[in-house]
Amino acid sequence: MYELISMGLALTAFVVLLRWKFKIGTAMILAAAVLEILLAVWPGQLWRAFMEEWRTKPLDQTTGYLFVTLTALVNLVNVMGLAMKEAGVSQRLASALQNLFKSRRLAMCTVPLLMVLLPTPGGIMLSAPMVRDLADSIGVSRTRSAAINFLFRHQWETIWPLFPAVPLIQGMLGISALAMISRNILMTIFGLVGGTVFLLLIGIPPKGKQSRSNETWLGSLRTFMRAFWPIALVAALYMAFNINPAIGLLVSLCLFAWVNKIPLPRWSGLFKEGFETDFVLLILGALLFKLNLQAGDSIAAVAAFFTRIHMPTWVLLFVLPMIVASLTGLTMPTVAITFPLLLPFMITNGQVHIGLQTLAFSGLLCGLNLTPVHLCLSLSASYFEAPLGKIILLLIGPICFIAAAGILAAMVSG
């Protein structure tokens, strides 16, 4: 119980610091320090937890590796956005997207829906420049555009097999991919509907206020591809050769600069303008928060507390993944921690109740998509220069739809 209270106090400190106008990166660092003090995690324990990762986890799951690659990724995205402006691509992209999709709303949600096919930490930043430029051109608030980019960026997470949580859960339950996807797709459908109702049908200015493009459909497609091919290359390198997206983006950036004849002396200026110290602090703070939880064995203590108090099965299935996800901000660790504890409730007398798995997954998504510890959410607030609290408020409606999908799946499962 103490661990749960400590985590709650650390998150409260984070919110209070934001209200006091601290930059989000600084606030995250200080929140991680508050958690460290409350959990009595000494520097030696933190160091041992750090070294234990290097011994027991794959390289790409260690704190040091994630810090370097995520910092590189988010800053390179900034540089790519500046390079697109330098080449004159971003100025024409907004009208091209509207002309291409024939709908401003469809254009705004399609880009992040495509980007979700590349499941990488911080990958939300790949779609952010295009969504922000389009939203600015049609008068959508930065808060709403950040929420749209965030929500639609996470809609395939329960069914797309490149997200490691999907095959992991499938293996735990011993079910076919079709059986799992046929239930989990309900969350995707409800999430898309909720996002449309609460984010796309509200807050979009009348169409007459925006300038129309004289470009042909094929011309708009060419403009879109000029902006999209560097991101597509990152995805291709990642999926085909498992090249880290940060490295892939650096390759794409160099090719983009060469193709668009950006002068070499200008490159250093773009890298200097694109570097954001607050992004570095934000990533470091989020990773330290996670490492403090590991060092203090806090997540296991929270899970044990809920099982000790004999919480009702359906409530436990939903609430435990939700709380762990809200504290870690990560899908895979939440699945690894909570699903082994919940398996006895999902499998009875040898029969797998897939709908109960969907209920647990929906709880995970609700916690994950409403917590400032989730790096994608914090990065969105920083990149779109929008208040984090207001983004979360906009997300509550769509997230309730996802929760309803989990409850419905559990009811059908019996």
pLDDT tens digits along 348-381: 777 888 889 999 999 999 999 988 878 888 888 8
**% pLDDT > 70, the chain:** 89
264 burial level (CB within 10 Å; 0-12, 13-18, 19+): exposed
pLDDT tens-place string over residues 383-396:
898 998 899 999 99
Query: What element of type H or E holds 107?
Result: helix 104-115
Residue 347 bridge partners (DSSP) = 352
353 within 8 A of 406, measured Cβ to Cβ: no
* Residue keyed to tokens 């668009």: 260
For the cut 70, the answer to whether the pLDDT of residue 93 exceeds it is no
**Distance between CA atoms of residues 378 and 35, nearest Å:** 18
- At 27, list the tokens: 């606030």
CB count in 10 Å sphere of residue 137: 18
Span 246-264, average pLDDT: 85
- Considering only residues 173 and 395, tell me which one the structure prediction assigns the higher pLDDT: 395
According to the model, what pLDDT value does residue 8 have?
Answer: 77
Span 321-341, average pLDDT: 77
- Considering only residues 205 and 395, tell me which one the structure prediction assigns the higher pLDDT: 395
**Distance between CA atoms of residues 280 and 72, nearest Å:** 9
CB count in 10 Å sphere of residue 175: 16
- At 359, list the tokens: 């209920």
**Distance between CA atoms of residues 195 and 397, nearest Å:** 8
Residue 35 makes CB contacts below 8 A (sequence gap 6+) with: 6, 7, 10, 41, 289, 292, 293
Q: Which long-range contacts (CB under 8 A, 24 or more apart) does 87-92 make?
A: 87/256, 87/260, 87/262, 89/223, 89/226, 89/227, 89/260, 90/129, 90/133, 90/227, 92/215, 92/223
**Distance between CA atoms of residues 132 and 103, nearest Å:** 16
φ and ψ at 89, to 5 degrees? -80, -50
Residue 204 makes CB contacts below 8 A (sequence gap 6+) with: 104, 105, 138, 140
Nearest residue to 322 via CA among 280, 282, 284, 374: 374
**Distance between CA atoms of residues 31 and 16, nearest Å:** 10
Highest mean pLDDT (candidates 46-55, 92-101, 160-169) = 46-55
**Distance between CA atoms of residues 138 and 336, nearest Å:** 42
Cα torsion through 90, 95, 98, 104, rounded to 10: 80
For the cut 70, the answer to whether the pLDDT of residue 210 exceeds it is no
For the cut 80, the answer to whether the pLDDT of residue 6 exceeds it is yes
Instruction: Report if pTM > 0.75.
Output: no
Residues constituting the chain = 414
**Distance between CA atoms of residues 192 and 397, nearest Å:** 11
According to the model, what pLDDT value does residue 394 have?
Answer: 95
- At 48, list the tokens: 């041992």
